[in-house]
Structure 1
Amino acid sequence: MTQSSFSFDWAYAWGGPVGECRFKSQSADFIVEEILPFEPSGEGEHACLLIEKEGENTDWIAGQLARFAGVKRSAVSYAGRKDRHGITRQWFTAWMPGKEHPDWSAFGGETFKVLQATKHGKKLRTGALKGNQFIVTLRDLTGERAEVDARLKEIAEKGVPNYYGEQRFGHQGVNVDRAIGMFTGELRARKNKRSIYLSAARSWLYNRILSERVQDGSWLTYQQGDVPGFQDSGSLILRDHDEELRARIESGAVSLTVPLWGKGELLSGEVVQERESAIAAEYPELCQGLEAEGLKQERKAVRLIPADFNSQWLDDSTLQLTFTLPKGCFATAVLRELMLCREESRQEEGRQEESLDKTDNEMGVEGMAVENSAQ
């Protein structure tokens, strides 16, 4: 299987890209740094390391770290995988009870190095991030500069649809088909692959439902039965849907949400629930498979407004963007509303799967919790 049978042609919010560009033509064109939701305590049984890597996948770095520290691979953890195609700075912990810590500055090579080393009392668990900071350089841009600047302003003020990025779905999107094969018993997947395929299936359904609302222009407009929520905290508002709340939705302070599919009743109601159910019913194998795997109904914000969003023209055809996104959000969702980004072809399908950005958490913890009133 070399190409998915599922469509990945999601609707654009602002009329489609205003030009084309080269993306990730060199590692320094895509720089990502994780933001922890806490400060390492400086004491405890866990080494806590900020490691910069270039051209390497996260699991490989974790294995190298375990060998250097003299611990089992299971003693090393991280919050999420990062794309190997770029420069990424991410946190790792290594459990070292009773062990003397080595000289961490000696851990490194041509493609990775330790930027910061301290101690902490707990392991770094999957999804334990506040967000990510990005520095993205786009080269050989086409299109009118005035149109590019106007679109940048639109993105900064109104945001973009909070789609899952293409790396979530594997090489040419085949991970959704593999999820179907896993659900039907035609494919036996190892434990680490199962979570990848489940994530791909659930994310595709989310994108599909969101795309419908983007297509008809309702993704920013409250409808009867909608479930608003907060992008940063991940909490939902299940009551007090008054005019003040609707104004906050219009302003971007609060977002509407669509389902991350699983067992249980949809939290939406009326018109919205009817529509979500109708779309999901078109893909019974995906829905039934996710439910059988024990995933529960959750929801995810539909609007993504990048924080600290800035742009700088380095020359007439080179644009550099800096912005911060909450965990669970993809830089490619921002870029697709601006440019058609041409990325160097990735020849090895396995490497594409390894580069899945799991910053948005393992299954079951990426949805929103429930708040009974507005905040």
Structure 2
Amino acid sequence: MKIQMDRQINIYLLLLALISCLFIYSSSTNFGQYGDAFIVKQITFYCIGFVIMYAVSRLDFEQLKKISWPFYGVIVFLLIALIFAPESIARPINEAKSWYHIKFIGTFQPSEFFKFALLLVVAKLIESHNKKGQVQTYFTDLWLLTKIAIISIPPMLIVYKQPDTGMLMLYMAMLIPMIYFSGIKKQLLAVITIIPTVLISTIIIIYFWFNQFFTDKILTSLSPHQISRINGWLHPFEYSDSAYQTKLGLLAIGSGLLSGKGYLQNNVYVPEKHTDFIFSTIAEETGFIGASIVIVLFFLLLYRMVFHALHAKKQFTFLIAAGIIGLLTFQIFQNIGMTIGLLPVTGVTLPFLSYGGSSLLSNMMLIGLIHAIKMSYSGYMFKNTNEVEVQSGAKFSK
């Protein structure tokens, strides 16, 4: 019997593709700013994306393990080369040097595809570490964390210097669940959790109780671009220039009320409305009802991913699913959160809805892996009794 991809996931993606194209067209043409160029490109990206998703879904995971390190090496090389590339092929956009400009094709953002590369190599690293059969100790667990840090931190620092803080946050959102389910001791996990929690709590306390110290010492250690966004988030009325996009986004969302103004009836101008702030267009034109439908659609998509993660037979595939779910969940929460003023603006796109070729194609590659996981466990006729139990409580075949 031929094993099929998950039809529900494909239906959700087709619905998201339709919503994306409809509201990118509305966002980019309503003020006569961009014309219809973006909608044509987005349709093209989606067509290519579905082909890539299908191709990835057909790859065997042993093949993926073999190509993981070469693919990682190519992407890291492109990230390093981007630093030295002349502006003729790597022109900065909004003060960020994150893209290669390819004639007749468009822009290519290697940091987007680093998600795929990092996901594979970290999952392979964890699986290889656990397969050695060594006695688990704090030392072996720390050694695993050290290896993950060695392959993760240098490229992440390159992305941070572009600057692209939002992408850095996505990498962390992907790595954290993978580390949690890697099988390391709970006590060590507790320490890893407590340290950033205490650090964040301390910063919050300093902000409210010692605001002058926070402003003079902590905030000034960041780049001007980051300071501007944080000030615009914390003090939107005092720093009106920094909060300009957020306030307009909130105005657009609020003006949609319950049922919206109607398709193509958005009349609140928001910069980059077709990319990072696509949710504001959806809420303005379809109101609370339409925005809620989009959120439910994302929830259903994530639910199907969790379903396949829980059925994964190998630790490698389970870790991949956990990383993808963590990344997309955080990306959705961050993007919607920043459009409603709950979180600072970070330049993170809304998956499958915002305009952007690199973002869309990289996410379609990740969905291809989810399909591959589904087809891998669907192909088992007999249960393998030779299993290894990890900290999460799940059992995986050796």
Q: Does the alignment reach a TM-score above 0.5?
A: no
Q: TM-score, normalised by structure 2?
A: 0.27
TM-score by length of 1: 0.29
